[in-house]
Amino acid sequence: MWKNRNVWIILLGEFVAGLGLWVGIIGNLEFMQKYVPSDFHKSLILFAGLLAGVMVGPLAGRLIDSVSKKKVLLYAGLGRMLSVSFMFFAIYYGEIFWMVLFMIALQLSAAFYFPALQSVIPLVVKDNDLLQMNGIHMNVSTIARVLGTAIAGAMLVVMSLNTLYLLSMVAYGLLFLSTYLLTITEDDKEDKGKQKNRNKKSGFTDIIPIIRNIPIAMMALILTCVPLLFIGGINLMVINISELQGDPTIKGLLYAAEGICFMAGTFLVKRISEGRNEVKLMLVFAFVIAIAELLLFFGDSKMMSLISFGLLGVGLGCFFPIAATIFQTRIPKEYHGRFFSFRNMLDRVLFQIVLLGTGLFLDTIGLQKMVLVFGGLSLLIVVIFGVRYIRTPFVEETEENEKDGLVSAK
């Protein structure tokens, strides 16, 4: 795998773009803290961008399955780069309107970029390398997140927000150039043309019966709700913890703790998963994430909040590579664009609900009661699906049975 030129291009591109993304996110938090006093209003601003991403989800899925995935990545990367321009207007005029436009443009680009990237990875590495590739890819993005937040925090002391967003735009520009260097082998033109005509008339309705006939993919899709219940409002919670403890430096420490532990999880997941039941592993790591959220009941304690974010990092670092590998290997490649767009849309819808709920609860019942609600709901999901799996295990299904299920779904 390490001799594959495309692997290095994807990983290096992800690292540079991740630096730009998180430098921009720290800039967003700083801008909102200055101009938006209410947590609920902050969540509404973030909600606007996510809603735009959901609305284009079906179009993104059809397009990714119909045209060159590399072209989709290039145009989406260009969109991410140009979207930063709106923040320069937001800073100059001091108006939230421009930030809302920035969030919408950025999330529209992301709605095409991330499903296309998930569809490309199985095309550039072998199936038996997918778990390792997914883990390393997430690891690289986490390193970029830790460095990006640390660099942005330091730069805010000596530089302006304009400089922060300029560096973010440069990073997206480098991602665009690295994407151009990718060499991806896809269907030939004739097959692609036939597929394009089919996909014009098809959409997410083709994906649902396929997921139903692959129980392990269905469970992985639903269990993904558990980490989203935590990370959906994580930025607002970080701000609130910082205010609760009266310590602005805790923001960087929390992101660093989660990021370092995430990297540890992605290194361990390949060894942990060898010869073990994938469903049981997902249930265990979903349970760890739920416990991590409940520990934020003690969010006024620096040590407990750091332990919480550390556990979250380990849980996410092990959970997401397993889930991504299941999706990439069990879902047929010709449906990858629509499936990953469908998953992306579901994630964004839940993200919006959690985001708005987090903002509302932080303004009304406070952090400690809110994490009891979300953490309790996460535990309930894990218990329900754990009991259901114990009663009717399905991992023992053979590949032949799965293929029969796909045929019947079609």
**Residue 187's CB: how many other CB atoms inside 10 A?**
14
Tell me phi and psi for residue 156, to 5 degrees.
Answer: -60, -25
| Domain limits, the chain | 5-409
Q: What is the pLDDT of residue 267?
A: 79
312-328 pLDDT, tens per residue? Answer: 988 888 888 888 888 87
DSSP string, 337-356: HHHHHHHHHHHHHHHHHHHH
Half-sphere exposure of 8 (CA within 13 A, CB side): 5
Residues 6 or more apart whose Cβ sits within 8 Å of residue 261? 309, 310, 311, 312, 313, 314, 317
How many Cα atoms occupy the beta-carbon half-sphere of 107 within 13 Å? 27
- Separation between Cα atoms, residue 323 and residue 314, nearest integer Å: 15
Contact assessment for residue 227 and residue 286, using Cβ atoms and an 8 Å cutoff: yes
Q: Which helix (H) or strand (E) holds 364?
A: helix 336-364
Q: For residues 53 and 111, is the Cβ–Cβ distance under 8 A?
A: yes
Identity at 273, one-letter amino acid code: S
DSSP string, 58-71: HHHHHHHHHS-HHH
Look at residue 116 in the predicted model and tell me its pLDDT.
81
| Chain centre distance of CA 276 | 25
Chain CA centroid to CA 115, Å: 10
Residue in the structure block whose two tokens are 């403890």: 245
pLDDT digits (tens, 9 = 90+) for 73-85: 888 888 888 888 8
User: What is the predicted pLDDT for the residue at 158?
Assistant: 74
- CATH classification of 5-409, choosing from 3.40.1280.30, 3.30.565.10, 1.20.1250.20, 1.10.150.120? 1.20.1250.20
Separation CA 86–CA 28 (nearest Å): 12
Count of CA atoms in the C-beta half-sphere (13 A) of 104: 11
Cβ 11 vs Cβ 139: under 8 Å: no
**How many helices (H) and strands (E) would you count in the chain?**
19, 0
The pLDDT score that the predictor gives to residue 409 is 44
b/e map 258-279, b = 16+ CB within 10 Å: bbbbbbbbbeebbeebeeeebb
Q: Which residues of the chain have pLDDT under 70?
A: 1-2, 39, 127, 131, 146, 149, 156, 186-205, 275, 393-410
For 6, half-sphere exposure in the C-beta direction (CA atoms, 13 angstrom radius) is: 15
Asked if residues 366 and 236 have their Cβ atoms less than 8 Å apart, the reply is no
135's tokens: 């883990």
Is the separation of the CB atoms in 86 and 102 below 8 Å? yes
230, 374 contact by CB (below 8 A)? yes
Cβ atoms within 10 Å, residue 238: 21
Question: What's residue 186's pLDDT?
Answer: 66
The pLDDT of residue 399 is 43
pTM tops 0.75: no
At what angle are helices 302-330 and 250-273 packed, to 10 degrees?
A: 40
Among residues 60, 59, 52, 168, the alpha carbon closest in space to that of 104 is found at: 52
Predicted pLDDT of residue 294: 92
- Looking at residue 18, its pLDDT comes to 74
- What is the spatial distance between Cα 302 and Cα 391, in angstroms, rounded to a whole number? 41
pLDDT (0 to 100) of residue 396: 44
Residues with Cβ within 8 Å of residue 159, at least 6 apart in sequence: none
